[in-house]
Amino acid sequence: FIAGLDKLKSLPAETLDGFRVELLTNTGLLADATPGLERGAEGVGLYRSEIPFMIHDSFPTEEEQLRIYQKVLAAYAPKPVSMRSLDIGGDKQLPYFEMAEENPYLGWRGIRFTLDNTQLLITQIRAMLRANIANGNLKLLVPMVSRVDEMVTFRQHVEKAVDDLNKLGYPAKLPSIGMMVEVPSAMLLIPKLAPYIDFVSVGSNDLTQYLLAVDRNNPRVSALFDHLHPAVMLALEYIQKECENHDLPLSVCGEMASDPVAVLVMIALGYQSISLSAFNIPRIKLLIRSVSRAELLPILEKARGLSHESDIRALFSDIAERAL
């Protein structure tokens, strides 16, 4: 098995008819670096920076963050690492910072929280920029964007932090800055946001939650939570088109990147990059290498006419099963 993994690791994730998919990995722990690299991850598509914050007992300082980020960036260098700014709120709570809200998923989450706590945000950005000096493989990713001004302000903070660091003698450089599309308004605003972003990453977990108004963690409605819902499929198609129109590199980093059927749908829609847990990379790579995109296109066409996610799943599942 290990020998098989090793062989697979060096092979590209490419369909039989030559459609290449970049396979990145999701992480938040330094301990994940080895499994990711062993399984042939081509970089980190999502580094969840809240994870080191969660296992600390107070907000980590700039120096403490610097040491963590340096190790992650060094482990993957020269491969790219997209580090997401702190995404707390909703289901992600810090043990040392209480946030009691009646409706936390619609409240103080992600970029909203950090823009209201700029000292925290600036400290984190500085730590990431300093960590990036050694290898230059950092990309920044902003969670829970729902308005254009959030990206404008975030970018200003990063530019100012680069300037400040340069004045102090650190050779920090402006990294590329991407936006998570996980709130429906961000998806619809891609044309207006395009001037302020260098790439897009779809957070399909939250996008599904907000598009369908289904709590991603509530077992009572979990049967309604499905990233193959026809509205989610339409959203993914729209995002892909808009990103192509605006020359924005696009990736998907939610759980759907680990779902074989959803991966087939994304390939048919033209997605060329996905980010998933290291554990699932070999299986998804095998799947990609055993299908042709040409056989998926007519199935996608049929799926467009369907109204129920289980019918969409059924259409693609024969191919997924044949492959795995």
In the complex, the residues that contact ligand PEP under the rule CB under 6 A are 46, 48, 87, 182, 203-206, 253-254
- Do strands 250-252 and 199-202 pair parallel, antiparallel, or not at all (unpaired)? parallel
Site for Mg ion in 86-105 (CB under 5 A): none
Binding-site size, Mg ion (CB under 5 A) = 3
The smaller minimum CB distance to ligand PEP, of residues 121 and 145, is found at 145
With CA atoms as reference, report the closest residue to 130 among 88, 151, 158, 153: 158
Closest approach, Cβ 177 to ligand PEP, in A, equals 17
Q: Say which entry of ligand PEP, Mg ion, none residue 21 contacts (CB below 5 to 8 A, set by partner kind).
A: none
The residue assigned the tokens 């998933």 is 276
Characterize 45-81 residue by residue with b for buried, 16 or more Cβ atoms within 10 angstroms of its Cβ, and e for exposed: bbbbbbbbbeebeebbeeeebbebbbebbebbbebbb
* Cβ-proximal residues to 128 (8 Å cutoff; 6+ apart), any chain: 65, 69, 83, 138, 140, 175
Task: Decide whether 203 or 260 has the Cβ nearer to Mg ion.
Answer: 203
Q: With residue 192 as reference, give the H or E element that holds it.
A: helix 190-193
When CB distances are held under 5 to 8 angstroms depending on the partner's kind, the choice from ligand PEP, Mg ion, none that residue 253 binds is ligand PEP
Min dist. Cβ of residue 124 to ligand PEP (A) = 16
A 10 A CB-CB count for 4 gives 10
Q: What is the closest distance, in whole angstroms, from the C-beta atom of residue 222 to Mg ion in the complex?
A: 17
Q: Taking CB under 5 A as the rule, which mask of x and - marks residues 165-184 in contact with Mg ion?
A: -----------------x--
Residue 48 interface partner, choices Mg ion, ligand PEP, none, CB cut-off 5-8 Å depending on type? ligand PEP
Query: Residue 219 is encoded by which pair of tokens?
Result: 């077992």
Give the other-Cβ count within 10 Å of 146's Cβ: 17
Closest CA to 252 of 242, 267, 176: 267
Residue 255 engages Mg ion in binding (rule: CB under 5 A): no
CA distance 211 to 202: 13
* Paired tokens of 205: 């977990």
The b-or-e profile of 93-130 (16+ CB within 10 A means b, else e) is: ebeeeeeeeeeebeebbbbbbbbebeebbbbbbbbbbb
Amino acid letter for position 217: N
Closer of 276 and 303 to ligand PEP (Cβ)? 276
Name residues contacting Mg ion, limited to 205-224 (CB under 5 A): 206
Minimum distance from CB of 171 to ligand PEP (Å)? 31
The smaller minimum CB distance to ligand PEP, of residues 46 and 172, is found at 46
Residue 306 DSSP SS3: coil
Phi, psi of 33 (to 5 degrees): -60, -45
Partner interacting with residue 132 (select from Mg ion, ligand PEP, none; CB below 5-8 Å by kind) = none
Least gap, CB of 182 to Mg ion (angstroms)? 5
- Residue 291 binding target from Mg ion, ligand PEP, none, CB below 5 to 8 Å by type: none
- Cβ at position 246, least distance to ligand PEP in Å: 21
Interaction partner, residue 204 (ligand PEP, Mg ion, none; CB < 5-8 Å by kind): ligand PEP
Residue from 36, 178, 203, 260 touching Mg ion (CB under 5 A): that is: 203
Find the shortest distance in angstroms from Cβ 268 to ligand PEP: 20
Cβ 14 to ligand PEP shortest distance, Å? 24
Residues 146-165 that bind Mg ion (CB under 5 A): none
Residues that bind Mg ion (CB under 5 A): 182, 203, 206
